[in-house]
């Protein structure tokens, strides 16, 4: 954060009235309303229905932290959702909802960030407790400060309304070590997160939840966070992964024992609801498709039988995208999530799931496409020489053939991928270089910013990390002319069409 950083406002939210409702009857009423909303076609008046935090409050387990870059999580919330910092001049802009209880104003971000890159510098807490997430500092596992997420790498729609998630590449992380109301010790709590179930890896650790306040590993049971990924060093579930598990520190747990839980399945939903909750000698994992259907319970029972987890020793910090000691080798995408005071009932969580389904998460139209990437100046196609799957081969242009080594997929998160002999590789700025002349190669996909590309209306394809254009060397037109990064000029050797 630079000298442009300002004091983060405290947002006041009138949730006290909801807590006075009769809890059992209120939960049933909210569940009925949420289920009815799940069948609707979607509209702009989201404020007419309760949000996830209204539902939790009705169940007697109010939100103590509520984070989302896609929508308001209370029906009456009208404050900022997140803040972006513009790379060109370090200016700041709060991005709010379109109205109370509404969807994010993505158009405001697009206008503010036009022609440059923006980073998500603050994810505001909507609960009124000031538990905002900002750039994570260094910790015992890795120095800092961590990277901030590029603001436009996870585009989605909610009932047709454009929004952006938080794209976490390895090295990216958010944290708040001085929170209010978050569970400590063995106090009960719940949490959920809506994630991209196709964006993960085996690095440690893509978490959202309760962590240490010191940025260090302080022992077993000092964390309680949702984990998503396919690491198998500690606990794991059935199939190849990824799995929803709990990071309880010094272990990712899928059940009562460290190690394998056959009832914790591999999940692959494009939009995933992941839940973890814990109380004295009781905890659970639940998950489901965020676009349809109900939740499944993957574990519910006593605390792990290893030492240090009963009772728990939670410290009350909040993390996103990293482990408690700032382990930051993971990747994933976060859209919304909350933490509660108290152990939510299954009935309350089922109502939250119905609300999420009714929100209508979907991929943004036009963000994914597959075909040849044809150069405007040469009329030739971006090509992987000899269809080689060897990492580090420099890309070139070649007469278009329609072959697999010229078939590129633009993914929703900004990658350009090619599949060669069953191996998916990403278009990559070699060595994370940013200088003119940096080779553009194919490399195993790793979520790095040097593998993310922004398509512009003028036909240029710009590397997110470098800000430089995908360029045919020397404006050449011959087969085999290499492709590189170069300062954007608007010339025809830097213009491309995909399809």
Q: What are the catalytic residues?
A: 249, 325
* Contact call for residues 146 and 32 (beta carbons, < 8 A): no
- Give the rounded distance of the alpha carbon of 295 from its chain centre: 20
Q: To which H or E segment does residue 58 belong?
A: helix 52-58
Could you give the angle at the alpha carbon of 63 between the alpha carbons of 130 and 165, nearest 5°?
75
Sign of CA dihedral 259, 265, 266, 267: negative
Q: How far is Cα 86 from Cα 39, in angstroms, rounded to an integer?
A: 39
Range list of H helices, 90-237: 106-113
Do the Cβ atoms of 472 and 457 come closer than 8 Å? no
Say if CB 149 and CB 155 are below 8 A apart: no
Give the largest Cα separation in the chain, rounded: 75
Q: Which long-range contacts (CB under 8 A, 24 or more apart) does 410-413 make?
A: 410/367, 410/368, 410/369, 410/370, 410/453, 410/455, 410/498, 411/367, 411/368, 412/154, 412/155, 412/156, 412/363, 412/364, 412/367, 412/368, 413/153, 413/154, 413/167, 413/196, 413/199, 413/333, 413/452
């Amino acid at each position: 954060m630079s000298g442009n950083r300002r004091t983060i406002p405290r947002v006041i939210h009138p949730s006290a009235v909801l807590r006075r409702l009769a809890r059992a009857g209120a939960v049933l009423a909210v569940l009925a309303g949420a289920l009815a909303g799940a069948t609707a076609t979607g509209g702009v008046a989201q404020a007419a229905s309760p949000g996830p935090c209204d539902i939790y409050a009705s169940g007697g387990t109010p939100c103590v932290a509520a984070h989302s870059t896609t929508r308001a999580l209370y029906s009456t919330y009208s404050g900022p959702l997140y803040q972006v910092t513009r790379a060109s001049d370090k200016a700041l802009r709060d991005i709010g909802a379109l109205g109370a209880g509404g969807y994010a104003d993505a158009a405001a971000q697009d206008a503010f960030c036009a022609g440059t890159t923006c980073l998500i510098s603050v994810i505001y807490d909507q609960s009124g407790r000031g538990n905002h997430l900002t750039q994570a500092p260094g910790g015992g596992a890795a120095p800092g400060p961590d990277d901030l997420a590029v603001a436009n790498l996870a585009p989605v729609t909610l009932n047709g309304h454009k929004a952006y998630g938080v794209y976490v590449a390895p090295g990216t992380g958010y944290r708040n070590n001085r929170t209010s109301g978050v569970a400590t010790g063995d106090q009960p709590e719940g949490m959920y997160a809506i994630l991209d179930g196709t964006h993960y890896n085996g690095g440690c650790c893509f978490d959202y939840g309760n962590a240490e306040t010191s940025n260090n590993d302080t022992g077993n049971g000092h964390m309680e966070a949702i984990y998503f990924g396919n690491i198998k060093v500690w606990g794991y579930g059935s199939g190849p992964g990824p799995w929803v598990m709990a990071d309880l520190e010094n272990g990712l747990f899928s059940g009562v024992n460290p190690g394998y839980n056959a009832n914790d399945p591999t999940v692959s939903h494009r939009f995933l609801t992941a839940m973890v909750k814990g109380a004295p000698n009781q905890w659970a994992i639940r998950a489901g498709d965020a676009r349809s259907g109900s939740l499944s319970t993957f574990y519910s029972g006593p605390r792990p039988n290893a030492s240090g987890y009963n009772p728990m020793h939670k410290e009350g910090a909040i993390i996103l995208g990293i482990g408690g000691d700032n382990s930051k080798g993971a990747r994933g995408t976060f859209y919304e999530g909350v933490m509660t005071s108290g152990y939510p009932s299954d009935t309350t969580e089922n109502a939250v799931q119905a609300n999420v389904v009714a929100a209508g998460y979907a991929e943004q139209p036009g963000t994914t496409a597959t075909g040849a990437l044809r150069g405007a100046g040469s009329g030739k196609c971006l090509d992987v020489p000899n269809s080689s799957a060897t990492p580090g081969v420099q890309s070139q242009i070649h007469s278009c053939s329609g072959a697999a080594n010229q078939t590129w997929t633009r993914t929703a998160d900004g990658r350009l991928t090619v599949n060669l002999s069953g191996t998916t590789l990403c278009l990559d700025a070699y060595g994370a270089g940013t200088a003119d002349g940096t080779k553009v190669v194919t490399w195993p996909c790793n979520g790095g910013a040097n593998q993310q590309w922004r398509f512009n209306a003028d036909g240029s394809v710009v590397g997110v990390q470098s800000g430089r254009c995908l360029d045919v060397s020397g404006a050449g037109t011959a087969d085999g002319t290499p492709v590189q990064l170069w300062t954007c000029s608007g010339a025809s050797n830097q213009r491309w069409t995909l399809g």
